[in-house]
Amino acid sequence: MRSVSIIGIGQSPVGELWDRSAREIAYTAISAAMADAGIDRADALFLGNMLSGNLLDQEHMATLVADTCGLHGIEAAKVEAACASGAAALRVGAMAVASGFHDVVIVAGVEKMTDTVGKDTTAGLATAADAEYEALHGVSFVALNALIMQRYMYEFDVPLDAFAGFSINAHRNGANNPNAMFREAITLQDYLKAPVVATPISIMDSSPVCDGAAAVVLVPTERVKEFTTGHHWGSVQILASASANDTLAVHDRRDPLYLEAAAISSQKAYRQAGITPQELDLFEVHDAFTIMAALSLEACGFAGRGEGWRLAQEEAIGIDGQIPISTMGGLKSRGHPVGATGIYQIVELVLQLSGRAGANQVKNARLGMAQNIGGSGATIVTHILGS
Ligand code: COA
């Protein structure tokens, strides 16, 4: 198997992009990534996307996007794994390069969630859950996470304000990210008085509904030098790529407060990269809800059961902390255009590992992990990158 590196990145701003269609947003990200890599052709495009069929009446999305980008005659395919679609697409792209099937692969993620009315978008997101046993009963995605958070607070005797640190950290970092949807820092008071969406989740615990696209260019590490000349920033290597699943429905789990798939995929990733979690310089967590950030930190070996929130309270997750998370705003503040999120995380890791993260730069960042979660922990994809 060949080692795989990233030589180009691109992203569109995240937000309510009502004046632009999904294909235009994808074009923005892909053309930027191709220019960054200095390429005008690729062998394949793998596209992470969850909701195009449901919300845009558009399937066949990867070929549509390739067509818009002038990438004709190449392989193009959409990869869907709910909110983990982006990272699942990256894994497919990395496997294609590692196996020798392709040499130059573009992996992008795109999602357009704001062209439909709220109830339709909410129903679309609920298709990530079990349609017959969860969604049929009217439980939305926010509600499922609210049930998990409620249970966590009860089991571990955790007060609501314990989660504030995740949101405060994400918004503080997002304020410095020109592509983030929310660019204002928030205080504990802002967190405490935020409108509740589904008890105990408020809008300050929740990622927003939004649009966005991000892209990366992959090549075999052995060919990196051919592409990275002159003023180019270099490359970042994919040291590990792992995926694991869990029961689709939360109620089928032995323990709904343990992200078993996060534990399995992160352990596989640590083994592939030959590192321990303590060696990571940063971790882009899937903080779609503050409770998910706490559970990921616990399952990936940064905190004991019921203790993940303490890392936020002790500021261990800040840019200068022991394990910086959501360094460019995370899903909470940068935004969570679902099928694109996994690629935004990778773009942000590359910025950090190549020393281009500006005011949010983690000092001497050499090793970073990104974890993308589909459903309430049912598909979990973990990547470790190294500079
Ligand atoms: N964080 C911070 N502010 C938010 C916000 C969020 N998550 N969501 C909305 N806002 C702000 C808006 O900017 C707006 O502010 P303004 O009045 O100053 O302009 C205000 O709240 C109302 O925005 P609106 O778009 O009308 O919110 P909404 O009530 O329609 O939607 C949520 C808010 C939280 C219900 C919606 O974003 C949501 O459903 N999020 C979850 C998405 C999800 O489940 N994703 C998948 C996860 S795996």
Residue 232's pLDDT is 80
Q: List residues bridging with 251 in a β-sheet.
A: none
Catalytic residue among 171, 286, 336, 383: 336
What are the respective helix, strand and coil percentages of the chain, to the nearest 5?
40, 20, 40
**Whether the predicted pLDDT of 25 surpasses 80:** yes
From CA 264, how far away is CA 296, in angstroms rounded? Answer: 11
Strands (E), the chain: 4-11, 44-48, 75-79, 105-112, 196-198, 201-202, 211-220, 236-245, 282-284, 367-374, 379-386
The rounded Å distance from CA 203 to ligand 1 centre is: 6
Residues 206-219, mean pLDDT to the nearest whole number = 98
Instruction: Write out pLDDT tens, residues 148-180.
Output: 999 999 999 999 999 999 999 999 999 999 999
DSSP class of 154: H
DSSP 3-state assignment of 50? coil
Whether ligand 1 lies within 6 angstroms of the CB of 182 is answered as yes
From CA 126, how far away is CA 146, in angstroms rounded? Answer: 14
> Is there a catalytic annotation at residue 336?
yes
**DSSP H helices in 38-163:** 52-56, 61-68, 85-99, 118-125, 141-155
In a mutational test of the pocket of ligand 1, which residue from 209, 289, 344 has the highest number of ligand atoms less than 8 Å from its CB? 209
DSSP 3-state assignment of 308? helix
258 versus 138: the higher-pLDDT residue is 258
Catalytic residue among 83, 210, 300, 383: 83
165 versus 315: the higher-pLDDT residue is 165
Whether ligand 1 lies within 6 angstroms of the CB of 206 is answered as yes
The rounded Å distance from CA 215 to ligand 1 centre is: 25
Residues 205-209, mean pLDDT to the nearest whole number = 98
Residue 227's pLDDT is 87
The band of 318, judged by pLDDT with boundaries at 50, 70 and 90, is: very high
Beta carbons of 327 and 197 less than 8 angstroms apart: no
| Structure-token match 């020109």, residue found | 178
**Whether the predicted pLDDT of 231 surpasses 70:** no
The rounded Å distance from CA 208 to ligand 1 centre is: 5
Residues 206-218, mean pLDDT to the nearest whole number = 98
DSSP class of 244: E
Q: What is the DSSP string of 341-369?
A: HHHHHHHHHHHHHTT--GGGPPTT--EEE
350 CB neighbour count, 10 Å cutoff:
24
Instruction: Please give the model's pTM, rounded to 2 decimal places.
Output: 0.98
The rounded Å distance from CA 84 to ligand 1 centre is: 20
Average pLDDT, the chain: 97
User: What domains lie within the chain, and their CATH numbers?
Assistant: 4-117+209-236 (3.40.47.10), 118-204+239-386 (3.40.47.10)
The band of 228, judged by pLDDT with boundaries at 50, 70 and 90, is: confident
Phi-psi region of 284 (alpha: psi -120 to 50; beta: other; left: phi over 0): beta
Pick from 52, 74, 51: nearest CA to 63:
74
Residue 306's pLDDT is 97
- Residue 273 amino acid letter: A
Q: List residues bridging with 289 in a β-sheet.
A: 206
- Residue 86 amino acid letter: G
Instruction: Write out pLDDT tens, residues 38-86.
Output: 999 999 999 999 999 999 999 999 999 999 999 999 999 999 999 999 9
From CA 340, how far away is CA 338, in angstroms rounded? Answer: 5
Residue 314's pLDDT is 83
Residues 353-369, mean pLDDT to the nearest whole number = 97
Provide the b/e sequence for 135-159 (b: ≥16 CB within 10 Å). beeebbbbbbbbbbbeebbeeeebe
Residues 215-232, mean pLDDT to the nearest whole number = 89
